[in-house]
Amino acid sequence: MKKRNKYFAMIVLIMMLLLIAAGLVTGEWALIKNNGSLICFGCIGIG
Amino acid sequence: MGLFAFLKKRFWHQLLFSLGINAHLKGFLEAHPYQGAAKGLCLPVLNCYSCPGALTSCPLGSLQYMIYSNARHLSLMVLGIVGSAGILAGRWVCGHLCPFGFYQDLLKKTTKKSLKLPRIWTKMKYVILFLFVVLLPLLLSKPAFCTLICPAGTLQGGLTLVWSLGIPLGFIYFWKLGLLLFFSAFSLVIPRFFCRTACPLGAFLGFFNKFSLFSIHVDMNTCISCDACRKVCPVDINISEHPASAECIRCGDCLPACPVSCITFTSPLSKEKGAFNEASL
């Protein structure tokens, strides 16, 4: 892997980790948890 | 080869991971999904969160939910998790961890017959990603991919839950059941048929194959262009010409097939290109 590509990938990785952190701060964990805890009737084909 | 050498085999990665993230056995008895804290986590694999055993949420379902719910934006956490997996290893998760990919691999093992997939079909997954995962949930306020396409939802949630719920089955259920049968039947003769044609998660992860930290390297000085890698490739790519192809699921089947061992996995920690060989998988 070229050094330039490696640095680019590292920067993108840091950005992705920041996105996760931003999602956690804005309360997405709870929203996703609540949504995932219910039966998704669309998923199982009766929604 | 150490004590955990068996874990390096892809089959075991797939089996243990698929069982591991669907280990809420009580859910099957009670016909109800798991509701613990882990459901807030979306792992970058296609695993329906309506499966009674699922411990984590589906990234595609959650992404659509955040679009059509009051939040009305792309989920930062889902994009971050899937993007991190992509930038680390590209579609390695498709080849080694995805439960629905594992299901298709098991189906393919039952037959020896193999058909070629026309290249144009592989473009369909990008249309599905944009249309069914982003645009339609925004316009219709419904999880369009889950409701109209996702065969993993039918397999894991539809077949296991619907009988115990006692709700009359309608057109959508049989449409989705038909799609599951369609993808399953084609997966018998075309390896990874769903992943290659219709998986939006694979389409998204594929963008990262070109610059992921963990990647495939082909030593063109050694390559004898024998095409042995293509013959064993489940997604029918010529890895020596396109080592960073968005279609590559990083399964590593081409590594042991190469007669001159010119295909290797590399990581940013490798001092030399090609620090991993097939024995490392």
Q: What is the ipTM of this complex?
A: 0.92
From chain A, the residues in CB contact with B173 under 8 A are 44-46
pLDDT tens digit string along A4-47?
788 899 999 999 999 999 999 999 999 999 999 988 887 787 76
Which chain B residues are closer than 8 Å to A8 by Cβ? 211
Name residues whose C-beta falls within 8 Å of residue B231's C-beta, 6 or more positions apart in sequence. B257
Q: Cα separations (Å) of A31 from B47, B87, B226?
A: 18, 25, 52
Are the beta carbons of A39 and B83 separated by less than 8 Å? no
Q: Which two tokens stand for residue B58?
A: 């589906």
- Grade residue B8 by pLDDT with cuts at 50, 70 and 90: low
> What is d(CA B277, CA A45) in angstroms, rounded to the nearest whole number?
44
Which pLDDT band holds residue B5 (cuts at 50, 70, 90)?
low
Q: Quick check: A2 contacting B, CB < 8 Å?
A: no
Give the DSSP H or E segment for B218. strand B215-218
**pLDDT above 70 (res B4):** no
CA distance B3 to chain A (A): 31
List chain A residues with CB under 8 Å of B54. 36
Contact B39 A33 (CB under 8 A): yes
Taken in order of first residue, the domains within chain B and their CATH numbers are 5-207 (no CATH), 214-281 (3.30.70.20)
Contact A19 B83 (CB under 8 A): yes
pLDDT at B125 over 50: yes
Inter-chain contact B48–A40, Cβ cutoff 8 Å? yes
* A13: contact with B, CB 8 A cutoff: yes
